[in-house]
Amino acid sequence: MAGKVFFSVSMSLDGFVAPEEREDDPDQQRWTAQWMELQQWLFPLRFFRENLKFGEGGEEGRANDIARETFERTGASVMGKRMFDLGEKAWPPEAPFHTPVFVVTHEKRDPWERPGGTVFHFVNDGIESALDQARAAAGDRDVRIAGGGTTILEYVNAGLVDEFTVALAPVLFGTGTSLFAGVDADRVALEQVRSEPTQRVTHVTYAVRTR
């Protein structure tokens, strides 16, 4: 039985999943500081430290369980080329996915295998093809649309997402990447599945329905 297609993102209280890129911030110091603030719930967790090989220790509790559950349900991931380009520079040699990852791109490139079980496959014939390949690789586990925001929105508007979770963080950006700017609201309806407050963020999960 095929698994679900889902995404899981951190979001500011005013609806942004990434800060605005500004010309007066050429080294992206401001962008990085804001992004770190958005993700700060994740960094202290035991699972995060284990997965990135940062050593022992770290916080346990429900937030840690959610991070671990998200990882363990994922049999393959899909991401856009921009997210891959940023990650290729930032990820350690043992990239943190440990599953096949399908990169939606216009370029042709051979698969890129990393230590620890992550293999990046580059798909240049559209989002549905990338998802079909990810589903085949995932087996009965779920497929995660890892990002970025534009790629996630494409899958939502195409009716290809079953469920998503937002980690709603108590930060305000004012401007940035609004995940749902451009959503086809005439086609997409949501049903709240659960809401789980934790120490730093509230995790809200929705099932995605067709209107």
Indicate if the pLDDT at residue 86 is higher than 90. no
Give the DSSP H or E segment for 206: strand 202-210
Report, as an integer, the average pLDDT of 88-94.
88
Q: Where does the pLDDT of residue 124 fall: very low under 50, low under 70, confident under 90, or very high at 90 and above? A: very high
Domains, the chain: 5-210 (3.40.430.10)
Smallest CA-to-CA distance from 7 within 191, 173, 201, 208 is with 208
Determine contact, residues 7/161, Cβ cutoff 8 Å: yes
Tokens 């963080």 belong to residue = 169
- The CA distance from 2 to 134, in Å, is 11
Indicate if the pLDDT at residue 189 is higher than 90. yes
- The CA distance from 132 to 150, in Å, is 19
Indicate if the pLDDT at residue 1 is higher than 70. no
Question: pTM of the prediction?
Answer: 0.93
